[in-house]
Structure 1
Amino acid sequence: MTPPNPDAITIITTTRDGQDFHTQYFANINAILRPGDQVVIVDDGSAHPVKRPDTLAVTPRIKLIQSGKIGRGAALNLAISQAQTAFVAIQDIDDLSHPNRLNVQGKFLNTHPDTLAFTTAQSDRASAHSDWHKIPAKRLYRSNPLHHSSLMFHRNIWDRAGGYDPDLDCCIDLDFYLRAVCRAKASIWHSNQALITRNLDPATRHFAGISIRQYHQTLQSVLNRHRAQIAPPTWMRIYDMKRTLGSRL
């Protein structure tokens, strides 16, 4: 059933073995949901499956899907495919959204629908920007300063971009951002309002088990996919030219 509120948002969460965060996650969700907002959770094969607390067990606003082990990218695609609202907001199970997050990002997207809208985390360093500012896609070739768990966007951007890549072991978020820019012609905007609190413990982050070598190989592969459409910074092009020339000597 379509939510009565046209500004309603669906929170998208995927998880595997995040049982240590279930209690705080559901408490946070219960605190921030507004009339019409919904939640879709995909449990991607947890050893201890996600269970809704008794206080939220019968609400139709929270849809819980036990998918088995399908991988992070496929789980995100499955969750978003079930969203009944125009806007979707990503929230990792080990992070927290602040009370005004949905209002702030939803208001921005109402006037900037072709946007990937990100916010700052409470732990981030202060920025010189006043608030919403545009980030060029080529900036992501230097590093990725964006928190996937703070992302909100219109569902049709996901459709036009072709969703998340289910075959990537990591860098799934970066690949989606770049494909959203290239295929869906989306722009990237970032707010300096601190609207999420991140779990900073590397031992319990989702991709803690990915080796450094695998990460860098995947990162390079993802960046190479989009080089033809997104001109990297000048210094990176010069570096690549020197590396190519060096390999021929």
Structure 2
Amino acid sequence: MNRESPEVSIYSTVRDGEATLPQTLDSIAAQRGVVWELVVVDDGSSDRTPALLREFAGRFAAGAVRIIESGAIGRAAALDLAWRDCRSRYVANIDADDLFHPHKLAAQVAVMNARPDIAALATENLYVGAGQIPQWPSYAPPEGAFAGRTGSAPPGGAVADLPVREITHLLGRFNPVNHSSVMLRRSVLKAVGGYDRQRRRQLDYDLWIRVAVSCGAIHLLDLPLAAKRLHAAQFFEARVSPAYILSSFVLQNRAIGALRLPAHYRGLAAVRVLYRLLPTPLRRLLTLPKRLLLSRPP
């Protein structure tokens, strides 16, 4: 298959990303078993980001990497602009400081081809700090896993052997999807109208809820095929602003109502608000029981 017919479109936005962008781009270039294209919106960078993007684009055939210099239009508008320039059946976001496992896209394409009921497919994640490179666990795709790209399942039941489970119900408890891990059908993004350009925070969480309500189930490929880069104080400080807490509470309750989730989820959402209002030292002490109660099930 040539570059005129990519199987998946990767889209990204970046502003002043020179410190992390090279590793992110290298992880895209390292993708195996799949033909991709990349659409990047440069959201008003003033550092070396534009030069890094042009250098990367020059390594590939014309049109394989498309750079849109939008000026400073903001994250929501930039994301919406990026995916709308994608041409492939499947689209996958990557934040400009995150990373892909070399087999990530191919594994997701195989599952999506075999499972038309899946509207969006996330993966598990590793977490890395500034400057760190993920130590990916050993992962060899099942034999024939990346065959059957026209929509039929590959021979030997290889895709059926991949660990996939539905996580739609978790939208009523927290955001279970790392934005850089997800692959969606482009038709799904089109059906829900893409990203909400008016939102200032939790653009992805809002999108997953609309996808689940209108287009179908959210699933997780239970392999760590994406790496999320964590920044200083991210766990305990970045998400305790009153605006963020209120946004999370509203989105959780919207998901609970729209997806007809159990009523006790509303109580859990209220407990989470109280937890986030606690002083930082106390929140640190309560991290483990909080995760058991409010986040991922054991």
1:167-211 CA distance string (max 9 Å, x none): 111111110000011122x21110111111220224689xx8776
Structure 1 residue 80 displacement after superposition: 0.8
More moved, 228-237 vs 108-117: 228-237
For 1:199, the equivalent position in structure 2 comes to 229
Selected match of 1:221 from 250, 260, 263: 250
Aligned-pair Cα RMSD in Å? 2.9
User: Does structure 1 residue 15 correspond to structure 2 residue 45?
Assistant: no
For 1:231, the equivalent position in structure 2 comes to 260
Number of residue pairs aligned between Structure 1 and Structure 2: 231
Counterparts of 1:1-249 in structure 2, within 5 Å, are 3-5=3-5, 8-32=7-31, 36-48=35-47, 49-51=49-51, 52=53, 54=55, 56-57=57-58, 59=61, 60-113=63-116, 114-123=118-127, 131-136=163-168, 138-184=169-215, 186-202=216-232, 212-237=241-266
Aligned partners of 1:4 and 1:36 also within 8 Å = no
The whole-number CA distance in structure 2 between the counterparts of 1:123 and 1:35 is: 25
In the alignment, structure 1 segments of 5+ residues that lack a partner are 125-129, 242-249
TM-score where L is the length of structure 2: 0.69
**How many percent identity over aligned positions?**
28
Q: Which amino acid aligns with 1:133?
A: R
Aligned partners of 1:97 and 1:197 also within 8 Å = yes
The whole-number CA distance in structure 2 between the counterparts of 1:198 and 1:14 is: 15
Q: Which amino acid aligns with 1:195?
A: L
State the SS of the aligned residue for 1:19: coil
For 1:245, the equivalent position in structure 2 comes to none
Aligned partners of 2:253 and 2:266 also within 8 Å = no
1:99-119 CA distance string (max 9 Å, x none): 100110000111223421000
Aligned partners of 2:239 and 2:245 also within 8 Å = no
TM-score where L is the length of structure 1: 0.81
In the alignment, structure 2 segments of 5+ residues that lack a partner are 129-161, 271-298
Q: Which amino acid aligns with 2:93?
A: I
1:19-77 CA distance string (max 9 Å, x none): 21122122222222666410000111223243325363264200011111222221111
Aligned partners of 2:98 and 2:228 also within 8 Å = yes
State the SS of the aligned residue for 1:54: helix
Q: Which amino acid aligns with 2:244?
A: Y
State the SS of the aligned residue for 2:176: coil
State the SS of the aligned residue for 1:50: helix
